Structure 1
Amino acid sequence: MTPMPALWRSAGRTARGKLRARNEDAFLDCPQRGCWAVADGMGGHRAGDVASQSVIRSLASLPGDDGFDQRIDTVRRRLRALDRQLSRAVPSVDGSLTDMMGSTVVALLLDGNRAACLWVGDSRCYLWRGQRLYQLSRDHSRLQQLMDRQHLTLEQARGHPNARALTRAIGGRQPLSLEVLELCVRPGDVFLLCSDGLYQGLSHGVLGRALSMNNPRQMVDRLFAEVLRGSAQDDLTAVVVQP
């Protein structure tokens, strides 16, 4: 296996939304293991921050010296185990029961010229390649479902009741269905993992200009500067990975 630290540079950042009492996002920036992730605790549910941090902890100790296919399987197994754990009602500190502890996750695994994007929910993975922006992940949300099944435009779907509701999540009512997309890495590729609080406030043009900068730290800082100029009501998180 090719050593990760020699191949990849990365940077991550998270911030609490301006109208939020606490940050329910979490991220993993672990180039030495070739693993990065963003998790967004489900808004409106108590302990969303606990759920997102549990997702990141489950991935943080992922072995870096296993074969690539084995590492993908390990991510699947760990997230399925966590899904079963979070799906149960969890006592809170005051003895009551939470309705749900849930989180989205988008993760990126790299090994040499192989990449795998794994996700559930509406946190996203983008690829900046050849001066074009590609969305690799596809949201598991009511919004996306309305556009796919009822052929609504984005503007029409946004006006629908419960448009922001998730259709899949870790800790949801249904067994975890994790999507995986594998691809080959090319020189000059840049990957962006982010929560919806980041991408909802930015156009593809703004995302692309930020990902054209010189290094991951500059890219992340530019993304945050752009979002924080606006209302930034939701928590925002970004991880950028670059060859």
Structure 2
Amino acid sequence: MGPVATAWRSAARTDTGKVRTRNEDALLDRPQQGLWVVADGMGGHQNGALASRLVVDSLAELPEAGDLTQRLAQLRRCLHDLNRRLGQTLTVTATRPDPVIGSTVVALLASGARVACVWAGDSRCYLWRAGRLYQLSRDHSLLQQLIDQQQLTPEQAAEHPAAHALTRAVGAGEQLALEILELEVLPGDTFLLCSDGLYQELAPEALGAALSLPTASLALQRLFDQALQGPARDNLSAVVIRR
């Protein structure tokens, strides 16, 4: 086993929730490869599930060799290629009533003591470090855009009828704009990748309390126990990663 396999522990889970009949989320949990992904599909039941599965399956085939810079370049290239593939599918099926096919993506790539978080859409990456919760990713949604550009409060922006429309996603446009954040990992750091179905059910304090538990499995169990006590209107997916 390589150093990545011994350095990282992770736990992953996805749930349809209480309202949806189909799960359009997909995830990847590869601690031995230093790669974790959450994808939340969009475009109707069949298209959404297909898009998120394509994201996860494509990233799962990436080679493990190389340093963080090389692996990050491969991951970006993979997602850009997939964006083109999904765009071509959209063109072919444009006569159908619901031709949208796309997916959010949030991925964590680890190599040694460094990680890179890569995302498009509103699936999130959090970091629990030294008793504090940090949201590393920034939502690519109209809601966040209204807050940033029009100085609206989150409550005011949420009243917009299209507040949760995505401004970026894999397959949603001709060009894919990924956002990337690289950082050094400290001992005890815990990361959370999750779809909006999970974080919309839980306050930041609840996320932090779960991530403070001693193992990734316990943290994941707490997150889902609490989220499923609420309405759980959307699919829920999360990966908890600890060094």
Query: What amino acid is aligned across from residue 107 of structure 1 in structure 2?
Result: A
Q: Which residue of the partner structure matches residue 216 of structure 1?
A: 216
- CA-CA distance at 1:15 after TM superposition: 0.4
Q: Which residue of the partner structure matches residue 101 of structure 1?
A: 101
Task: Provide the alpha-carbon RMSD of the alignment.
Answer: 1.5
1: CA distance, partners of 2:46 / 2:99: 8
Structure 1 residues 167 and 150 mapped into 2: Cα distance closer, same or farther (>3 Å)? same
Q: Are the counterparts in 1 of residues 121 and 168 from structure 2 also a CA contact under 8 Å?
A: yes
2: CA distance, partners of 1:63 / 1:199: 31
Q: Are the counterparts in 2 of residues 46 and 98 from structure 1 also a CA contact under 8 Å?
A: no
User: Equivalent residue of 2:226, what SS?
Assistant: helix
Cα deviation code 1:11-67 (max 9, x no counterpart): 000000211120000000001110000000015464100000000001112222212
- CA-CA distance at 1:111 after TM superposition: 1.1
Q: Which residue of the partner structure matches residue 18 of structure 1?
A: 18
- CA-CA distance at 1:88 after TM superposition: 2.3
Cα deviation code 1:65-101 (max 9, x no counterpart): 2121010000000000000011124567xx9575121
Aligned ranges 1:190-229 → 2 under 5 Å: 190-229=190-229
**Unaligned segments of structure 2, at least 5 residues:** none
Is 1:136 matched with 2:136?
A: yes
Cα deviation code 1:180-214 (max 9, x no counterpart): 10000001100000000000011110000000111
Is 1:71 matched with 2:105?
A: no
User: Equivalent residue of 2:167, what SS?
Assistant: coil
Output the TM-score relative to the length of structure 1.
0.95
Aligned ranges 1:1-243 → 2 under 5 Å: 3-42=3-42, 44=44, 46-90=46-90, 96=96, 98-243=98-243
1: CA distance, partners of 2:155 / 2:45: 27
User: Equivalent residue of 2:183, what SS?
Assistant: strand
Structure 1 residues 77 and 13 mapped into 2: Cα distance closer, same or farther (>3 Å)? same
Q: Are the counterparts in 2 of residues 45 and 99 from structure 1 also a CA contact under 8 Å?
A: no
Q: Are the counterparts in 1 of residues 43 and 99 from structure 2 also a CA contact under 8 Å?
A: no
1: CA distance, partners of 2:65 / 2:75: 14
**Structure (1 or 2) with the greater helix fraction:** 2
Query: What amino acid is aligned across from residue 183 of structure 1 in structure 2?
Result: L
1: CA distance, partners of 2:30 / 2:143: 32
2: CA distance, partners of 1:3 / 1:64: 12
1: CA distance, partners of 2:215 / 2:21: 32
1: CA distance, partners of 2:147 / 2:174: 22
2: CA distance, partners of 1:16 / 1:169: 21
User: Equivalent residue of 1:51, what SS?
Assistant: helix
User: Equivalent residue of 1:17, what SS?
Assistant: coil
Q: Are the counterparts in 2 of residues 89 and 97 from structure 1 also a CA contact under 8 Å?
A: no
User: Equivalent residue of 1:4, what SS?
Assistant: helix
2: CA distance, partners of 1:136 / 1:8: 19
1: CA distance, partners of 2:177 / 2:198: 24
2: CA distance, partners of 1:73 / 1:98: 33
